[in-house]
């Protein structure tokens, strides 16, 4: 079973400057609560029991968000406010599940994953990229189902406008049906002419622990970063099976200013 999730949170958030010069993007409010809480809810509802946050010293306020017990206790003792108590209890429950590891230099998602190598207990784990919110239907839960039935790794995917393929990791497909397909190849941010399809990787992955061995020797790729996509490619070439989950939920990109504003509006309209 998949019981552990990892969440890379050490990115600089340059696409959301100037907001991110003082607030980590994962703490920016999204219709009344920080973005990261939507990701945590998805994990908990998918049966995840332990979550590893990969943060940096610069983003220590993420840890503080979950470790403000003193503040809450003093407020609760002065004001008997039920609402504040409920919020505090929710954070306390999350806190019990979260471990922090550090990636002080933003060297890419592959490097972030490698920082967790000593903490992964099972053979597979879930990774969620917090810029990618998937609402209405639990994408992680859908993926865990596929993992169980196909006994293979899984990546969330959706069709994107072909003009935008160079913004995404792109998949090459084999044996597609309505909800999933086997992945033949992956390529990080290809040009339109090199893209094998317009099925993009969205930030949810069920990965094998053995990806750590690949990452140890993984060279930097596009933009001077170590990409998880490149390590996945190596695994596929070595015969590891990966499936693409064509998820049912609504995708919201909260990693750019335009996307962040749109996501706020969309979430406020959801029931």
| 260 in Cβ contact with 27 (< 8 Å) | no
**Distance of closest approach, residue 188 Cβ to ligand G1P, in angstroms:** 5
| Residue 32, burial from CB neighbour count under 10 angstroms (0-12, 13-18, 19+) | exposed
- Cα(1)–Cα(106) distance, integer angstroms: 30
134 binds ligand G1P (CB under 6 A): no
Q: Which of 37, 111, 131, 266 binds ligand G1P (CB under 6 A)?
A: 131
b/e code 182-197 from CB counts within 10 Å (16+ = b): bbebbbbbbeeeebeb
Q: Select 229 or 245, whichever has its Cβ closest to ligand G1P.
A: 229
Q: Which stretch binds ligand G1P (CB under 6 A): 45-53, 137-145, 191-199, 200-208?
A: 200-208
Q: By Cβ distance, which residue is nearest to ligand G1P?
A: 169
Enumerate residues 62-121 that contact ligand G1P by CB under 6 A.
109
- Cα(16)–Cα(29) distance, integer angstroms: 13
129 binds ligand G1P (CB under 6 A): yes
Q: Which of 24, 130, 169, 208 binds ligand G1P (CB under 6 A)?
A: 169
Enumerate residues 204-243 that contact ligand G1P by CB under 6 A.
227, 229
Q: Which stretch binds ligand G1P (CB under 6 A): 18-26, 44-52, 69-77, 125-133?
A: 125-133
168 binds ligand G1P (CB under 6 A): yes
* The pairing of beta strand 124-128 with beta strand 199-208: antiparallel
The interface mask with ligand G1P, positions 241-270, x = CB under 6 A, is ------------------------------
- Cα(87)–Cα(76) distance, integer angstroms: 11
130 binds ligand G1P (CB under 6 A): no
- Cα(221)–Cα(224) distance, integer angstroms: 6
160 binds ligand G1P (CB under 6 A): no
201 binds ligand G1P (CB under 6 A): yes
Q: 134 CB contacts (<8 Å, ≥6 apart)?
A: 42, 156, 202, 204, 247, 249, 250, 251, 252
182 binds ligand G1P (CB under 6 A): no
CA dihedral 104, 109, 221, 252 (to 10 degrees): -130
Q: Which residues bind ligand G1P (CB under 6 A)?
A: 109, 129, 131-132, 168-169, 188, 200-203, 227, 229
């Amino acid at each position: 079973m998949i019981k552990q999730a990892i969440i890379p949170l050490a990115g600089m958030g340059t696409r959301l400057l100037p907001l991110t010069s003082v607030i980590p993007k994962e703490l920016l409010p999204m219709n009344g609560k920080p973005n990261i809480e939507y990701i945590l809810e998805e994990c908990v509802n998918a049966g995840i029991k332990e979550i590893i946050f990969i943060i940096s010293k610069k983003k220590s306020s993420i840890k503080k968000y979950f470790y403000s017990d003193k503040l809450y206790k003093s407020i609760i003792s002065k004001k008997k406010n039920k609402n504040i108590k409920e919020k505090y209890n929710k954070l306390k429950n999350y806190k019990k599940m979260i471990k922090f590891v550090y990636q002080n230099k933003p060297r890419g998602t592959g490097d972030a994953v490698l920082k967790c190598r000593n903490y992964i207990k099972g053979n597979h784990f879930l990774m969620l990229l917090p810029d990618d919110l998937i609402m209405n239907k639990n994408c992680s839960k859908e993926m865990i189902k596929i993992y169980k039935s196909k006994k293979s790794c899984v990546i969330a995917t959706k069709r994107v406008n072909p003009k935008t393929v160079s913004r995404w990791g792109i998949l090459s497909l084999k044996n597609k049906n309505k909800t999933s397909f086997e992945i033949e190849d992956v390529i990080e941010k290809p040009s339109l002419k090199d893209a094998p399809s317009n099925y993009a990787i969205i930030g949810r992955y069920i990965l094998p622990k053995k990806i750590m061995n690949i990452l140890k020797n993984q060279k930097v790729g596009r933009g001077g970063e170590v990409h998880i996509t490149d390590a996945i490619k190596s695994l596929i070439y070595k015969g590891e099976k990966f499936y693409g989950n064509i998820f049912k939920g609504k995708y919201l990109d909260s990693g750019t200013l335009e996307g962040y504003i749109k996501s706020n509006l969309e979430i406020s309209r959801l029931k």
